Amino acid sequence: MNQITTIKLNAPYLIFLGEVTDAMSAKTGAGLVQWCPEKVAGQLRTHADSVDLGVPDMTVEQAVAAGAKSLVIGVALVGGEINRQWAEIINQAAASGLDIVSGLHTPLGDVPGLVETAANSGIRLINVRRAPENLPVGNGKKRSGKRVLMVGTDCAVGKKYTALALTKALNEAGVQATFRATGQTGMMIAGEGIPIDSVKSDFISGAAELISPGNDTAHWDVIEGQGSLFNPSYAGVSLGLLHGSQPDAIVLCHDASRQIVSSCADYVLPAIDECIDLHLRCARLTNPAVICIGVSVNTSGLPADQRDTYLHELSLKIGLPCVDPLVEECELLVQQLNQLNSV
């Protein structure tokens, strides 16, 4: 039986942008350039006015010559489809020996000719939305190393961004730390991971255990969170991830302008202190020593002159550091984790 692992991607990447002209549709590619520039060989644009990520333009041949290992679809069209006009270039990349990596809804196997091309050239077609088969059931066994998990008052409140910013800040402070991805864009940035929301529900915590394996005692895994225990659509994902991650620390992520649960219009967002309390209570099952080290708030929806006041008042109310990693460093969170490391 093969060893079961996370999905692992081969860098460097050639980022495919096609004919897309709006920056929003190219945010996957932009995220790669922002968070893992060392993995990016270049970009492939099919038109002169395609989005420009500021990295070298390359043809497939040039990328292969430069050592690229994967063509990563860096754009998402409305509906998540793979444009059939892209099929020729994707087939060419596969024939040239590049793995093809996609986070779109359309499976790569649906791209005309691509399955045959991949079989002939021996490259992998990697749909990062799809969980690996044969994941283990969670066993709850204590692992070495330290873990901090992003949790949230809702979906899409900045958990991935916070995890990436905190990992960067830890590394800059000389702390061993690795970003651990649980969603498709995070996986492309990390170069590995499991899309935990597509795992069969019996295996959520087992997948989470694989995502942050045992490590050096002083090493921090900084784990991308998903959903919220207070989101009636996705709380099961959040709880399995919380248990399997066995976090020593959690960071609560919140969007200051969010009032209503994103997927459920009948539900108001939980209070910050209540949300921290329930996440800690549940997390204690697999790590009785877990603490919350702070709140990461996306304040971009507030008037600029109210942001500092909001963070300061929230911090006084709950007695924890509250930061917006988009506008300041994660220094306060790094300090908290360093205190845990010295225990």
Interface residue with a copy of itself among 236, 300, 308, 318 (CB under 8 A) is: 236
**Subset of residues 176 to 215 that bind a copy of itself, contact rule: CB under 8 A:** 196-202, 204-206
Minimum CB separation from a copy of itself for residue 53, in Å? Answer: 30
Scored b (16 or more CB within 10 A) or e, 97-129 reads ebbbbbbbebebeebeebeebbeeeebbbbbbb
- Per-residue tokens: 171: 């590394």
- What distance in Å separates the CA atoms of residue 191 and residue 189, rounded to the nearest whole number? 6
Interface residue with a copy of itself among 267, 300, 318, 327 (CB under 8 A) is: 267
Minimum CB separation from a copy of itself for residue 107, in Å? Answer: 13
- What distance in Å separates the CA atoms of residue 176 and residue 322, rounded to the nearest whole number? 23
Four-residue CA torsion sign, 131, 136, 138, 140: negative
Select from 14-22, 39-47, 168-176, 277-285 the region that touches a copy of itself (CB under 8 A): 277-285
Residue 18 binds to a copy of itself (criterion: CB under 8 A): no
Residue 271 binds to a copy of itself (criterion: CB under 8 A): no
Residue 233 binds to a copy of itself (criterion: CB under 8 A): yes
- Residue 223 bridge partners (DSSP): 149, 180
Number of residues lying near a copy of itself (CB under 8 A)? 41
x-marked contacts with a copy of itself along 281-320 as a string, rule CB under 8 A: xx--xx----------------------------------
Residue 234 binds to a copy of itself (criterion: CB under 8 A): yes
**Looking at residue 132, what DSSP letter applies?**
P
Minimum CB separation from a copy of itself for residue 120, in Å? Answer: 28
Between residues 27 and 130, which has the closer beta carbon with respect to a copy of itself? 130
- What distance in Å separates the CA atoms of residue 283 and residue 64, rounded to the nearest whole number? 45
CB 141 within 8 A of CB 116: no
Residue 134 binds to a copy of itself (criterion: CB under 8 A): no
Residue 139 binds to a copy of itself (criterion: CB under 8 A): yes
Interface residue with a copy of itself among 37, 112, 140, 301 (CB under 8 A) is: 140
Between residues 13 and 230, which has the closer beta carbon with respect to a copy of itself? 230
CB 279 within 8 A of CB 293: no
Which are the contacts of 141, defined by CB distance < 8 A and separation ≥ 6?
none
x-marked contacts with a copy of itself along 142-181 as a string, rule CB under 8 A: x---------------------------------------
**Looking at residue 190, what DSSP letter applies?**
H
Find, among 205, 199, 261, the residue nearest to 229 by Cα.
261
Find, among 3, 141, 13, 21, the residue nearest to 77 by Cα.
21
- Residue 253 bridge partners (DSSP): 152, 296
Counting every residue written for the chain, the total comes to: 343
Amino acid residing at 53:
L
**Looking at residue 104, what DSSP letter applies?**
S
Residue 67 binds to a copy of itself (criterion: CB under 8 A): no
Which are the contacts of 36, defined by CB distance < 8 A and separation ≥ 6?
11, 189, 190, 191
Select from 10-18, 237-245, 299-307, 327-335 the region that touches a copy of itself (CB under 8 A): 237-245
| Chain residues in the site for a copy of itself (CB under 8 A) | 131, 137-142, 196-202, 204-206, 229-230, 232-241, 243-244, 261, 263-264, 266-267, 278, 281-282, 285-286
